[in-house]
Structures are given as structure tokens and as C-alpha cells.
Amino acid sequence: MTRHAGFAAIIGAPNAGKSTLVNALVGSKVAIVSPKVQTTRMPVRGVAVKDETQVVFVDTPGIFKPRRRLDRAMVTSAWTHAGDADALVLLADAQELTANPKGRAADDTHAIIKALKDDGRKAALALNKIDGMKRTDLLPLVQALTAENTFEQVFLISALKGDGVADLFAWVQGKMPEGPWLYPEEQAADIPSRLLAAEITREKIYLRLHDELPYASTVESEKWEERKDGSVRIDQTIYVQREGQKAIVLGKGGATIKIIGELARKEMEEIFGRRIHLFLFVKVREDWAEKKEHYTEMGLEFPPDE
Ligand SMILES: Nc1nc2c(ncn2[C@@H]2O[C@H](COP(=O)(O)OP(=O)(O)OP(=O)(O)O)[C@@H](O)[C@H]2O)c(=O)[nH]1
Ligand SMILES: [Mg+2]
């Protein structure tokens, strides 16, 4: 049988469940997830194979009205990946859009639909988080979002529980062009281990810390040292923007960073399948979000001053 392979980009407003969906489609954790908006900062590729088709799913940062430089880079990168994809899926949070039809997520979602329409870009719409929702609440939403005729198909899914995910996969699979596979047979993710390790720690920061702190912080893996016994020593620095934020990340007597470190280490051990010795440091680097190197590392373009 002839082989097919290509890219499928998942786009949507922040917090729609894009990373959760990519993990579900790929069948392993390649992208970090949190209840907070703007968790994903860079595109992450996860690979799935069905029959003779290889699909490279691209998890993208949420699309919203950007303000900071990092926001602008994130949104640009999401649109770039949408443009390059063989299949495009717009994911929307059905719970949020039903509860707040005039809220921020609804605004962002409508703006994305308008941009797709202006571009004449065909896509599938996937309404996510239908778990716990009534069908009667979903219908008006489907009608409101499909009135513009932008979508080839509409899927009702729960990325978390798995409902509808196989149908969506089948649609994406059908869009993949004929050609050789893009990644080796067993590869599930295309993200360097050091970067994934940094992302895992960042996820724990998003889960444990609140207000502006997650947005003011970034994580870098400074050292990755293989040990003779098969374990790895990883040294990471959490950069924050102000002295006061450093104290919050550390917590009383170092309690907060200890919890973040334990959660991150456990997950790294699971994902990398080996023992990890994780050392976390916190430093103030006021302008990390203004430094070009930082963007390059994450695979983002450095946007010019506004
Ligand atoms: N109930 C429910 N929650 C979901 C579902 N999918 C995702 N979530 C939750 O929604 C939140 C956001 O999920 P993410 O996957 O991080 O969303 P995202 O679109 O990648 O968010 P950004 O990267 O910030 O743009 C998390 O708390 C998820 O657990 C779903 O199908 N049902
Ligand atoms: Mg995400």
C-alpha cells in the first residue's frame, strides 16, 4: 500500500484544549497542559501512525489579541503552522462558549473563524469539552459557528475523555497527501529532551502558581548529565522578572520549589523512563521575554518592536 504523511495543525483560542487533544491523538504526553490560558508557548509536534499513514500533529499556542512581545511571537507561530498544514482543525471550548457567548474565548474564536474565511482556508471545527454538556446546548453553538460555511466538517469531542477523537483522527488521516513518512517509525514527539524537561517544569509552575507568576517565568535546562548508573542529572533555572517573584517561587523555607521539583521529577522519570536527579534554581532576569536567544530556543520568530 502507498504511504501517506503530512502535518495537521490544531489551532484555537487559549485554553480550548489543544494540547490535551494532541496528546490524545498521539497517545502519549508530548505537550504540556494546564487550566490557565496561554500555557503553550511554542509549537510542539506529536506523531501518530494509522495503517500506512503518518500524521504529524502540531500543537500551537492559543490565538488571541496579543499584547506582549512573547504573545505576538506565539500568535504568529500558530498562524504560520496553520498555513503550512495539510489539515487544519479549529478547536473551540464548547463549555466556555456556551457559558459566556460574549466572553474572551468566544471573541477569539470568532476572530479566528473570520481570518480563516477571509483566507478562504478550509478547516474542520471540533467543539471540545462536550463531556458533561447537554446536546440541546450544543446545537445552537454548532449553528452559530457554522453559519459562515467555513468548515468542511464539525466534530463534537472530548479531548479529555476521548469521545469523538477517533472520528476526528479519521478525517485528518484522509487529508494526508501521498508520500514517504516524515519521522522514523517509533518516534512519537519532535522536541529535544532538554526542552521537554523544561516544559514539564513550566507546566508544574502553571499548576502550582497563580496570578501573573506563570506568565512572568520561563524555564531553561542548563545541564543534562548522563550518569554511569543510567540516571540523568538535570539542572534547570527558573527565570522570573522581579525579586519578589523569586520569593514566591521559592516559597516559605523553599517549600514551593520543592513541590514543583518533585512533581516535575516524577513526570520526567515517567516520560524519559529513567531515574532523574533534578536541581532547580531560581534567578531574576528582568528582560528574558525581550531576548532574541530565548525565542530561537523555543522555535519562535523574534517579533520586531511595535
Ligand atoms: N472537561 C474537559 N476539560 C478539558 C478537555 N480538554 C481539555 N480540558 C481542560 O482544559 C484546560 C486547558 O487544556 P489545554 O490542553 O492546556 O488547552 P490549550 O488549548 O492547549 O491551552 P493553551 O496552550 O493555553 O492555548 C485543562 O485544564 C484541560 O484539562 C475536555 O475535553 N473536557
Ligand atoms: Mg496548549
Question: What pLDDT score was predicted for residue 115?
Answer: 96
**Can 4-175 and 192-297 be said to share one CATH topology?**
no
Mean residue pLDDT across the chain = 96
Strands 53-59, 4-12: pairing kind: parallel
d(CA 78, CA 63): 7
Domain ranges of the chain: 4-175, 192-297
Residue 239, all three cell numbers = 527565570
Spatial CA neighbour of 108 closest among 37, 168, 42:
37
225: its cell numbers: 548529565
User: What is the CA(176)–ligand 2 centre distance, in A?
Assistant: 23
Residue 158, amino acid: S
Whether residue 39 has its Cβ less than 6 Å from ligand 1: yes
Q: In the prediction, which pLDDT does 255 show?
A: 98
CATH superfamily of 4-175: P-loop containing nucleotide triphosphate hydrolases (3.40.50.300)
Residue 147 is predicted with a pLDDT of: 82
Residue 284: helix, strand or coil by DSSP? Answer: strand
Q: Which ligand is nearest to the CA of 36?
A: 1
In sequence order, which residues have a C-beta less than 8 Å from that of residue 226 and are 6 or more positions away?
232
Q: pLDDT-based confidence at 306, cuts 50/70/90? A: confident
CA of 1 to the centre of ligand 2 (A): 35
Tens-digit pLDDT profile for residues 18-62: 999 999 999 999 999 999 999 999 999 999 999 999 999 999 999
CB atoms within 10 A of CB 180: 9
Kindly give the number of the ligand 1 atom that is closest to the alpha carbon of 128: 31
Q: Whose CA is nearest to atom 26 of ligand 1?
A: 35
Task: Please tell me if the CB atom of residue 14 comes closer than 6 angstroms to any atom of ligand 1.
Answer: yes
Closest CA to 42 of 306, 298, 301, 305: 298
Locate the ligand 1 atom nearest the alpha carbon of residue 157 and give its number: 31
60 lines ligand 1 (CB under 6 A): no
DSSP secondary structure letter of residue 178? B
Least confident of 145-154, 167-176, 261-270: 145-154
Residues 6+ apart with CB under 8 A from 9: 57, 58, 60, 81, 82, 84, 85, 87, 88, 89
Distance 244 CA to ligand 1 centre (A): 30
Classify 9 as helix, strand or coil: strand
Ligand 1 neighbourhood includes 109 CB (under 6 angstroms):
no
* Residue 237 CB–ligand 1 contact under 6 Å: no
**What cell does 157 get?**
469531542
Cβ contact 257:248 at 8 Å: no
Q: How far is CA 284 from CA 130, 245, 287, 289, in A?
A: 41, 8, 9, 12
Structural contact between residues 90 and 112, judged by C-beta atoms closer than 8 angstroms? yes
State residue 180's pLDDT score.
97
Mutation probe of ligand 1 site: the residue of 10, 11, 15 with most atoms within 8 A of C-beta? 15
Q: What is the pLDDT of residue 149?
A: 85
Distance, CA 164 to ligand 2 centroid (Å)?
A: 19
How does DSSP assign 91-144, residue by residue? EEEHHHHHH-TTSHHHHHHHHHHHHHHHHT--EEEEEE--TT--HHHHHHHHHH
Contacting residues for 108 by C-beta, under 8 A, at least 6 apart: 13, 14, 62, 63, 64, 65
Helices then strands, counting H and E runs in the chain, come out as 11, 10
The answer to pTM > 0.75 is yes
pLDDT per residue as tens digits for the range 272-302 = 999 999 999 999 999 999 999 999 989 999 9
Q: In what order do the strands lie in the sheet with 276-284?
A: 218-226, 232-240, 276-284
Determine which residue's CA is closest to atom 6 belonging to ligand 1. Answer: 17
Q: Worst-scoring range by mean pLDDT, 86-90, 183-187, 240-244?
A: 183-187
| Exposure b/e, 21-38, CB count within 10 A at least 16 = b | bbbbbbeebbbbbbeebb
* CATH number for the domain whose boundaries are 192-297: 3.30.300.20
Q: Residues 180-205: pLDDT tens digits? A: 999 998 899 999 999 999 999 999 99
Is the pLDDT at 265 greater than 90? The verdict is yes
Q: Which residues surround ligand 2, an ion (CB under 5 A)?
A: 18-19, 39-40
Q: What is the pLDDT of residue 1?
A: 78
Of the candidates 67, 41, 44, 42, the residue with the CA atom closest to the CA atom of residue 56: 44
